[in-house]
Amino acid sequence: MGRIGYFFLYLCLGIVAVFQIFPIVWLFLFSLKSNREIFAGSPFALPQEIRWENYLAVWEGGIGNYFWNSIWITGVSILFTLLFASMAVFVITRMKWKLSKLVLGLFMVGLMIPIHSSLIPLFNMFLNVNLINNPISIVLTYTAYNLPITMMILLGFYYSIPKEIEEAAIIDGASLHRMFFRIILPLSAPVLATTAIINMIYNWNEFVFVNTFISSDNYKTLTVGIQNFVGQYMTDWGAIGATLVISVLPILIAFLFFSNKIVEGISSSAVKG
């Protein structure tokens, strides 16, 4: 490809980047406006008066608690999902037993179950075991729903791991548990980073389950807590914009720090040995 080709390539990439970044910049400027500026002026105009108090208002409105709930619920759910999925894929791909294909198929069936079809059965189940309005119900739901897609991504990578690594570990006297935690999991770091980001995006932005299972403000996450800034007669749109900016930041930071791991993990999981 010549210089002209590279020029047009980078030009196209630059245009795409502008379209990708513009909504984030627009949202940030939106969060610094008052209701009067939002509705009276142009939606693309710069704020006439920067209103940092919008961020103070949402913090005083309890967004700190919602933010913390989103962090720990997302984090615990990702930890459980990666651990259980890794264990299941390790047993299915690296061990020989008769029902391995059947068990894998049962897990993959989870990919075909729509979220809304299971909402009422899950609600009844959690109601019977007193887990309604309990964050444990959210963690269990996120873990279960993310297992199939996480396992599907891990499958290709686990199949590509050379058998010689396990044979050498067994010769050195490593137990099954030690081989998994000391050898297989560290080797899986790139693909685990990929699945962690995918899980984070889903858990962080999920609304339906939290809105259905949680009623107390003490356990609500950001996606549901934002409703507190929507009133019957008056809505503080600047405060809602500030809440959205705060909710987007963790996802952007995660992509900035783990973007290389994501590409490496996708490449690794696509190879089957």
Whole-angstrom Cα distance, residue 33 to residue 54? 8
- Alpha-helix residue ranges (DSSP H) falling in 129-236: 135-160, 163-171, 176-179, 185-187, 189-205, 208-213, 222-225
pLDDT value at residue 232: 45
The tokens describing 29, both together, are: 């400027």
Summarised one tens digit per residue, pLDDT across range 18-51 is 888 888 888 888 888 888 888 877 777 888 888 8
Domains of the chain and CATH, by start:
60-218+247-269 (1.10.3720.10)
Query: From CA 81, how far away is CA 154, in angstroms rounded?
Result: 12
- Report whether pLDDT(159) > 90: no
Measured in degrees and rounded to the nearest 5, phi and psi for residue 133 equal 65, 35
Query: 58 is written with which tokens?
Result: 């949402």
**Long-range contacts from 184-188, C-beta under 8 angstroms, 24+ separation:** 184/86, 184/90, 184/94, 184/158, 185/86, 187/161, 188/86, 188/154, 188/157, 188/158
Q: What is the pTM of this model?
A: 0.82
Mean pLDDT value of segment 87-112: 87
Other Cβ atoms less than 10 A from the Cβ of 133: the count is 14
pLDDT score recorded for residue 77: 96
Residues 6+ away with beta carbon under 8 Å from 188? 86, 154, 157, 158
Residues 265 and 197 sit within 8 Å (Cβ to Cβ): no
Cα separation, 81 vs 147, in Å, equals 6
Token pair for residue 170?
């067994």
Reported as a single tens digit per residue, the pLDDT across 182-194 is 888 888 888 888 8
Q: Residues 144-156: pLDDT tens digits?
A: 999 999 999 898 8
Task: Report yes or no: 148 and 107 within 8 Å, Cβ to Cβ.
Answer: yes
103: CB partners within 8 A, 6+ apart: 88, 92
Give the pLDDT of residue 143: 95
DSSP 64-125: HHHHHHHHHHHHHHHHHHHHHHHHHHHHHHHS--TTHHHHHHHHHHGGGS-TGGGHHHHHHH
DSSP state of 235: B
- Of the candidates 190, 202, 204, 200, the one whose C-alpha atom is nearest the C-alpha of residue 262 is 190
